[in-house]
Amino acid sequence: MEENGSLQKSQKWLKGLSKGTISHELEALALEGLQIVDAQTGSILCNFIVPTRASDSDGNWHVGAMATLIDDVGAAAIYSVADHVKASLDFSISFHSTAKIQEEVEIEAKVVAEKGKLSLVVVEIRRKRNGEVIALGKQWMATTKDSLNASQESKL
């Protein structure tokens, strides 16, 4: 794993969320048991076994819990680049399949664009056993951090 200060902080933040030591109970429930497999600046790969507490009435992974996980793993990938968490501006998820409780999945988040104060992350959730895509999330995030100078502002 590539190591830098922002990357280490982003991993610590994500691990804290999954263990419930920071943030809200909802995130701890949605990320319970998340394992970081590989982390590099702008990219995070995780394994996850869908917990029973994150299921809907049909025994599938609840879409709200899945959205929380996509949001947080995506934010951690951005954190590894920007050295802070940004605010969500646009968040969309395409659901391609369902996952059952106790099913193992793989989550991969990649920062694919940066434009001034804006960052775009794409998060893909795949079935571990066969690579089938379960969901694909896309999220634009923005910073309000004053450390960016005028020459770095977005042209959008």
Q: Please report, for the chain, the start and end positions of each structural domain, with discontinuous segments joined by +.
A: 5-146
Q: Is the pLDDT of residue 130 over 60?
A: yes
- What's the rounded mean pLDDT across residues 80-105? 89
Q: State the average pLDDT for the chain.
A: 84
* Side chain identity at residue 139, one-letter code: Q
d(CA 6, CA 78): 10
Whether domain 5-146 has CATH 3.10.129.10: yes
> Which DSSP helix (H) or strand (E) runs through 18?
helix 5-19
Backbone angles phi, psi at 77, to 5 degrees: -65, -40
Which pLDDT band holds residue 69 (cuts at 50, 70, 90)? very high
